[in-house]
Amino acid sequence: MVGVADEIVSPELVLVSPPDVAAQAREALPDYELEWELLVARLRAEAAAVESDPPARLTFGAAVFTLAAALTSAAPLVLLILFR
């Protein structure tokens, strides 16, 4: 016969289980704090190693697109005013 503490206990069952079984289940959890600290340290080191790109410039295509969008936005208003 397998004891209750030796079985795999779901998180829901830990909430309603006796305190000693819940304590054993908590002790069986991996150390996520250490893993988190290692992950954060690795990501910060990678971010520091990456050079920042220069800010993007407004290219000719972007300027033409902006002008076309402004004209198509203002055109209906102008037509409404002219052809009332």
- In SS3 terms, 51-83 reads as CCCCCCCCCHHHHHHHHHHHHHHHHHHHHHHHC
Q: Which residue range(s) make up the domain with 56?
A: 4-82
Query: Residue 24: which residues within 8 A CB-CB, separation 6 or more?
Result: 5
The tokens for 10 are: 């779901």
Residue type, 31: D
What is the full per-residue pLDDT of the chain (84 aa) written as tens digits? 445 555 666 777 777 888 888 788 788 777 888 999 999 999 999 888 877 777 777 789 999 999 999 999 999 999 999 998
* Number of domains making up the chain: 1
